[in-house]
Amino acid sequence: MSALLKAAGRNALRTGTILLIFALVATALLVFTFTRTQPTIERSQQAEKLARLDQVLPHSLYDNDLLASHLTVQPDDLLGTQQPSSIWVARRGTEVTAVALEAIAPDGYGGEIHLLVGIDVNAAVTGVRVTSHRETPGLGDYIDRSKSPWIEQFAGKSLTTPAAKHWKVVKDGGRFDARAGATITPRAVVKAVKSALDYFARHRTAIIAPPPALAKETQP
């Protein structure tokens, strides 16, 4: 009996050792794969982010590295955010020319509509893009630029053009077009874009202030 127990113990130890070796090899392979693919994934994500920024901030407005000129701001009701969000600052030389804000329309028909809003230093919209949404295909999804040019109507608009009271869809007495039978979605987007402009107007000085390093470089 003792011999059988010893043999069983040796077998269990051998099996455990083999399983441990397999686990270590599998872990090493995962780590190796991650370290090899992570830079590629990060480059792809950065390229996608820059492509989106280029859609709301014309390249003629800046010559700096947009992705490196990045601010993180705290949640704010005007942005519709509940988590810290991002602002990218465009510069030509040392002068700030525009920014791109992340904003959320919380009241879309299908839920939250995530937006990227470009605004120049004169507080006019340079472009808007929907970055994610769950609106009904064929009905409310026309806010997506890949579906229709509807979103382009915000370019050049500001808090004074049109007047604040006209920042509504036409059905509500405003100046922004919306398709019949699908006004909840555009109504939410119009409201969110105006709120993003309100946010920029309220925080403009802090947003466009030069970073400490740049401020030192430009001192006389």
What are the pLDDT digits (tens) for 38-67?
555 555 556 688 889 999 999 999 999 999
Place of tokens 């269990």: 12
Closest CA to 65 of 44, 88, 95, 42: 88
Closest to 154 (Cα-Cα) out of 165, 143, 140, 141: 143
Burial of 150-181, coded b for 16+ CB within 10 Å and e otherwise, reads: bbeebeebebeeeeeeebbbeeeebbbebeee
The pairing of strands 70-73 and 85-92 is: antiparallel
- Return the structure tokens found at 166: 């006209």
Q: Is 4 helix (H, G, I), strand (E, B) or coil?
A: helix
pLDDT of residue 7: 54
Distance CA 196, CA 77 (A): 10
Q: Which two tokens stand for residue 70?
A: 């990045």
Q: What is the pLDDT of residue 209?
A: 82
Q: CB atoms < 10 A from the CB of 205, how many?
A: 7
DSSP 94-116: TEEEEEEEEEEEEEETTEEEEEE
Q: What is the largest CA-CA distance in the chain?
A: 94
Q: What was the pLDDT predicted at 169?
A: 97
Q: Cis link prior to 162 (omega < 30° from 0)?
A: yes
pLDDT at residue 216 in the model: 41
* pTM over cut 0.85: no
Residues in contact with 91: Cβ distance below 8 Å, sequence separation at least 6, in sequence order: 62, 63, 64, 69, 97
What's the pLDDT score for residue 3?
A: 57
76: exposed, middle or buried (Cβ count in 10 Å: 0-12, 13-18, 19+): middle
> Which pLDDT score is estimated for 157?
98
Which residues in the chain come in under a pLDDT of 50? 5, 213-220
Side-chain half-sphere exposure of 202, counting CA atoms within 13 A: 10
Q: What is the DSSP letter of 176?
A: B
Cβ distance 196 to 119 under 8 Å? yes
